């Protein structure tokens, strides 16, 4: 069975400082991992994905994540936070085999960006 643990329910950073959102996963197979972002009253937008190619994955809006198998982690980072980054972030795992792979979500991390 697959699962995801997001270690922080709430992270607050100042604008212009680095962002670190932590995620650990558990999977029986070689996992595919994703980060999604949800802005208020909006849907879930894909930020980036890891699918067994490069372990450092770059996404939209300057975000990136590093897959570390030895630590079963997939932390999300950004060098410099912007006010528009304030949102809820979800770490997500998907694993096969299966006809239609389902996603398993973490509990989410709410990112607050202050001036």
Rule CB under 8 A: say whether 100 interacts with another protein.
Answer: yes
Give min distance, CB of 18 to another protein, in A: 26
Contact 17, 107 (CB under 8 A): no
Contact predicate 106/4, CB 8 Å:
yes
CB of 9 to another protein, least distance (A): 11
Query: CA–CA separation, 63 vs 30, rounded Å?
Result: 23
Q: Does 96 bind another protein (CB under 8 A)?
A: yes
Binding residues for another protein, how many (CB under 8 A)?
A: 29
3 versus 14: smaller Cβ distance to another protein: 3
Q: Which stretch binds another protein (CB under 8 A): 14-22, 46-54, 57-65, 76-84?
A: 46-54
Tokens standing for residue 75: 């932390």
Largest CA distance in the chain: 47
Least CB distance from residue 17 to another protein, whole Å?
28
Q: Is 38 exposed, middle or buried (0-12, 13-18, 19+ CB in 10 A)?
A: middle
The verdict on 102 binding another protein (CB under 8 A) reads: yes
């Amino acid at each position: 069975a697959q699962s995801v643990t997001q270690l922080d329910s709430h992270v607050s950073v100042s604008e212009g400082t680095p962002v670190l959102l932590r995620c650990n996963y558990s999977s029986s197979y070689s996992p595919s991992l994703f980060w999604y972002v949800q802005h208020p009253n909006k849907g879930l937008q894909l930020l980036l994905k890891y699918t067994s190619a490069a372990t450092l994955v770059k996404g939209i809006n300057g975000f990136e994540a590093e897959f570390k198998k030895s630590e079963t982690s997939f932390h999300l980072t950004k060098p410099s936070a912007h006010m528009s980054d304030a949102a809820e972030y979800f770490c997500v795992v998907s694993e096969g085999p299966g006809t239609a792979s389902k996603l398993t979500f973490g509990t989410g991390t709410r990112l607050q960006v202050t001036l």
